[in-house]
Amino acid sequence: MKLQFAERPERSLARQVILPLAAVVVTLGITSTAVVGAGANPLTAFRKILFTPLSSRFGWFEMLVSATPLILTGTAVVVAFSCGYYSIGAEGQLTAGAITATWVGIRLGGWPTPLAIVAMVGAGALGGVLWALPPALLRVRFGIDEVVTTLLLNPVATLVVSGLLNGPWRNSTTHYPESDPIAGPARLPRLFDRSRLHLGLILAVAVAVAVWFVLSRTVTGLRARAIGQAAHAARFAGLRVERTMLGAALASGAIAGLAGMNDVAGTQFKLSEGLADGKGYTGIVIATLAGLTIVGVVGGAILLGLVKMGSTSASRSLGVPSQIAEIITGCLLLVTVALMVLKRYRIRLVRGGGRR
Amino acid sequence: MSTADPAQAVAAGGEPTEHPGSPPAAAVRMSGIVKRFPGVVANDGVDFAAALGEVHALLGENGAGKSTLSNILTGLYRPDEGRIELDGRAVHFDSPRDALAAGIGMVHQHFRLVPTFTVAENVALADPHGIGRRQVRHLRQELAAMGAHYGLAVDPDARVWQLSVGEQQRVELLKALHRGARVLILDEPTAVLTPQEADALFVTLRAMVAEGRTVVFISHKLHEVKAVSDRVTVLRHGRTVGTVDTASCTTTDLARLMVGRDVVFRRAERAHPVDPAAAPLMRVRGVSAVNHRGQPAVRQAGFELRPGEILGVAGVAGNGQRELAEAITGMRRPTAGSIEVGGSPVRLGSVRAAHAAGIAHVPEDRLHTGLAPSLSIASNVVLTAYRRPPASRGPFLDRGYIRRHATELMSRFDVRAPGPDTPVRLLSGGNVQKVLLGREFASDPKVLVAASPTRGLDVGAIETVRRLLVQAADEGRGVLLISEDLEEILALSDRVLVLYEGRIVGDVPAADATAERLGLLMGGGAVSRDVG
């Protein structure tokens, strides 16, 4: 069966291409039980989720709209992980970026659009940086584990949003717990008529390409990769490990913050509760699935963007809960991590048979 | 207990047990073993057979296939082809657990012990049936008895982290014996031992084979193989060169089998004698440093290093060598003292400052401290030089230059690898060291601090590395050679310092340095020792 994939785990081709594909296949296999549990035919459901959306122009554009913030969070995670900084904080940094972008966005009425967009980008990045700063400082100064601190700050960001929306930022006309809409010039321009696809996609791809360039072609990238691969050897070679790691942590925060800005300025036009919606965590799934490559991140973001929007439409037509998207995403992470372990320790699942 | 009964050890594995009526000639027989890794055939039809009651040495250069073969025998790898027989019965190991159950034990070069557990607890962990608190008490008596019997005395209640490396190795041996290992594989067991500890280990191994166990002794140290083994199987390039009776050949014969040519270590020829009147290149004054537990490790060390001089630093492991090297190279901030290079003081505790002053460092742990194992050769080679042209222009790496530079270094230092993009972790020990030396030499250093630069390397690579060190001195650099290998110190140094408990207790010119004299100093001068 599928176990044959594990027969040649040491090839680099297998590592880069077959492994993620195997992860997707295994994941669909496992999640089909959930679909059956919801009373639907898994084949129909997966066709609705993965292929039906691609039969229309609208579907293609919506897939890219969903993928845009995931490209950013995935890239943010690649930046941190490449430098050996295991931040789980993209979710909170995204939320923080959304808060600062909203604060600025509401005040940009009457600005010229290009200038307003620059201000929004700056605001989003700044929010992410601020949220990433305390754990990063704790890590490089005192060696406090960043996995725990970044993770714990995520719900804090959610609660800050909740506090703002139920307090000072409550919508002044509707009194719903959501912010006032941001000003027109602060909204990211649409790329095509009759579609929500907006400038954020180009921004996200540009950031991803820039990160790829920095990591693979510059002095800074070499430094970061060396530290991520062998911090001890990097210190021995005279690299300033703490400074570089701090830089990577903050850059990662900035990119995650941009994802928050992207949501506020690209699709929502306001701050609302549940805005992050797991996109930060999904970034970790994507980066892991991609083996920390940028090409992989873009591909993975598009795939999971498709799953996200496909599940929404499938839930309507089939009665399958739209949470199937989260089940697929979570399952994909577990399967990916499991497959990596299999690869690393050369454990083969060949039971019976095949013995000479 | 399951200590010494082979039949019981087999039965514990759940394998069908045919009770052998008469003991077969070979306890272990591996025939036609082939193991391929992507791009490499690590074992290419290896034949190996070890008899009951013998110490059988497995000799070969790094990369000859010794580790692969032992990993196959211990169940870590599965062979692509070939068969393994134990006592004449074909066996398949799907995991190390199967091999252990069949009575094959291994003592790895890096120990697999829980540092915070006691000796008895560590042995209990290895028990196939698991052991409760009450049985641990029984176990302590058993350990004491085994310790006395085999010369493996260790306090069963000592915590492993408190033990010396030699004692930890004894715990590994006790673990294997407790599990009823009939075939014991030791992977370069003496690499971490003092000469005295090594001698004690050899006595233990003889006692073990005397009662019918089989010991497979992996090494590339010829004199040890000569001293301890009954027979030797030599591997070269993944193939069996032959199996010989140890008594029938000399170390020169073995060296020739191993590398396919004659290799003799002798005192290195030097182009220029050291000028004793020359101004010192490096002056170290009153340097003290503490180890990672905060205890004093180097006490008031002071010496001068002249241009063109190879200054050996001898000492038993753990007498402050590592801390001294780290203090000089900026990895560790000294608590007192000063260091000058070329007459100007070096800022202490900064690797960058040490580099800038012209101090290069080849550390003991070359693969993990010296290099980043998963990065390519090219990336590693520029790791200290990436900041400046020509490796980079402004913020951008010049990848063309970096590749050319790495390729050039690879040919100059005879690094054997598919190309500059090969990750360093795929290289053999000798090639790793050559990459590191190439990188450090490329910065044109005034002083080279080399810590155990040939440890774990094969004969060919040892020759190359030593030649490079001599060449560095002949070019007028100062070389500080820190090594526990007396033979190496004697072969290369112009002058020898001896470290004992962090103090320099001897400063001996090469002409007066003999193994006996240095050995005495290394032991603190208190006890007379028979070294070398």
Please indicate whether, in this complex, the C-beta atoms of A233 and B38 are within 8 angstroms of each other. no
Please indicate whether, in this complex, the C-beta atoms of A219 and B373 are within 8 angstroms of each other. no
| Domain end point (choices B444, B464, B490) | B444
Show residues of chain A in contact with B386, CB under 8 Å.
219, 222-223
The band of A351, judged by pLDDT with boundaries at 50, 70 and 90, is: very low
- State the pTM of this model: 0.67
Closest among B263, B304, B96, B290 to B185, alpha carbons compared? B96
Residue at A144 is within a domain: yes
Judged against a pLDDT cut of 90, whether residue B295 lies above it is answered with no
Residue B329 and residue B202 share a domain: no
pLDDT at A298: 96
Q: Nearest Cβ partner of A230 from B331, B373, B399?
A: B373
pLDDT at A94: 97
Residue at B22 is within a domain: no
pLDDT at A14: 59
Residue at A350 is within a domain: no
Q: What is the CATH number of the domain that holds B309?
A: 3.40.50.300
pLDDT tens-digit readout, B391-430? 888 788 888 889 999 999 998 888 888 889 888 888 878 8
Both structure tokens of B28: 């272990």
Closest among B66, B198, B78 to B485, alpha carbons compared? B198
pLDDT tens-digit readout, B175-203? 888 888 999 999 888 876 777 788 889 99
* B124-163 burial: b if 16+ Cβ within 10 Å, else e: bebbeeebeeebbeebbebbeebbeebbbebbbeeebeeb
Residue at A309 is within a domain: yes
pLDDT tens-digit readout, A163-181? 999 999 999 899 899 999 9
Structural domain of B312: 268-358+447-532
Which long-range CB contacts under 8 A does B463-467 form with residues at least 24 apart? B463/B263, B464/B413, B464/B414, B464/B430, B464/B434, B465/B430, B465/B433, B465/B434, B465/B437, B466/B268, B466/B491, B466/B492, B467/B268
Judged against a pLDDT cut of 50, whether residue B22 lies above it is answered with no
Residue at B48 is within a domain: no
| Domain end point (choices B236, B259, B282) | B259
Residue at B121 is within a domain: yes
Judged against a pLDDT cut of 80, whether residue B24 lies above it is answered with no
Please indicate whether, in this complex, the C-beta atoms of A230 and B372 are within 8 angstroms of each other. yes
pLDDT at B133: 67
Judged against a pLDDT cut of 60, whether residue B2 lies above it is answered with no
Residue at A168 is within a domain: yes
Give yes or no for a contact between B447 and B359, defined as CB atoms under 8 angstroms apart. yes
Residue A10 contacts B, CB cutoff 8 Å = yes
A245 vs A351 pLDDT, higher one: A245
Residue B208 and residue B131 share a domain: yes
Show residues of chain A in contact with B330, CB under 8 Å.
238
Give yes or no for a contact between B332 and B418, defined as CB atoms under 8 angstroms apart. no
Residue B308 and residue B295 share a domain: yes
pLDDT tens-digit readout, A50-108? 888 899 999 999 999 999 999 999 999 999 999 999 999 999 999 999 999 999 999 99
Please indicate whether, in this complex, the C-beta atoms of A10 and B38 are within 8 angstroms of each other. yes
pLDDT tens-digit readout, B224-250? 888 899 999 999 888 898 999 999 988
Residue B386 and residue B285 share a domain: no
Amino acid code (one letter) for B208: M
Residue at B198 is within a domain: yes
pLDDT at B532: 33
pLDDT at B524: 61
pLDDT at B190: 82
Residue B245 and residue B339 share a domain: no
Residue B205 and residue B121 share a domain: yes
Rg (CA), chain A: 21
The band of B23, judged by pLDDT with boundaries at 50, 70 and 90, is: very low
Helices (H) and strands (E) in chain B, counts: 17, 22
Both structure tokens of A184: 């027109």
pLDDT at B11: 36
Judged against a pLDDT cut of 60, whether residue B129 lies above it is answered with yes
Q: State residue B29 phi and psi, 5-degree precision.
A: -135, 125
Cβ-in-10-Å burial (0-12, 13-18, 19+) of B527 comes to: exposed
Residue B390: asked if its preceding bond is cis (omega within 30°), the reply is: yes
Residue at B50 is within a domain: no
What is the distance between the alpha carbons of residues B70 and B60, in angstroms, rounded to a whole number?
A: 13
Q: Nearest Cβ partner of B38 from A11, A222, A230?
A: A11
| Residue B346: strand, helix, or coil | coil
Residue B378 and residue B345 share a domain: no
Structural domain of A205: 2-345
Q: What is the CATH number of the domain that holds A276?
A: 1.10.3470
- For the segment A298-321, the average pLDDT, to the nearest whole number, is 87
Residue B526 and residue B469 share a domain: yes
- For the segment A202-213, the average pLDDT, to the nearest whole number, is 97
**How high is the mean pLDDT of chain A?**
88
pLDDT at A343: 60
Q: DSSP characters for A200-232? A: HHHHHHHHHHHHHHHHHHBHHHHHHHHHHH-HH
pLDDT at A11: 42
Q: Nearest Cβ partner of B396 from A217, A236, A237?
A: A217
What is the distance between the alpha carbons of residues A132 and B230, in angstroms, rounded to a whole number?
A: 63
Judged against a pLDDT cut of 50, whether residue A135 lies above it is answered with yes
Give yes or no for a contact between B431 and B417, defined as CB atoms under 8 angstroms apart. yes
| Domain end point (choices B395, B410, B444) | B444
Residue B296 and residue B249 share a domain: no
Residue B246 and residue B127 share a domain: yes
Residue B72 and residue B178 share a domain: yes
- As for how many domains chain B has, the answer is 3
- For the segment A345-350, the average pLDDT, to the nearest whole number, is 50
Residue at A321 is within a domain: yes
- As for how many domains chain A has, the answer is 1
Percent with pLDDT over 90 in chain A? 58
Which residues neighbour A104 within 8 Å (Cβ) at sequence distance 6 or greater? A119, A120, A123, A186
Side-chain half-sphere exposure of B324, counting CA atoms within 13 A: 34
Of the residues A225, A236, A344, the best mutation for testing chain B's interface (the one with the most B CB atoms within 10 Å of its CB) is A236
What is the distance between the alpha carbons of residues A304 and A329, in angstroms, rounded to a whole number?
A: 7
pLDDT at B122: 85
Residue B477 and residue B399 share a domain: no
pLDDT at B244: 92
Residue at A310 is within a domain: yes
pLDDT tens-digit readout, A215-262? 988 888 988 998 998 888 888 888 889 999 999 999 999 999 999 999
pLDDT at A306: 92
Judged against a pLDDT cut of 50, whether residue A6 lies above it is answered with no
Residue at A355 is within a domain: no
Judged against a pLDDT cut of 90, whether residue B341 lies above it is answered with yes
What is the distance between the alpha carbons of residues B280 and B263, in angstroms, rounded to a whole number?
A: 35
**How high is the mean pLDDT of chain B?**
83
Helices (H) and strands (E) in chain A, counts: 14, 0
Please indicate whether, in this complex, the C-beta atoms of B351 and A232 are within 8 angstroms of each other. no
- For the segment A311-333, the average pLDDT, to the nearest whole number, is 84
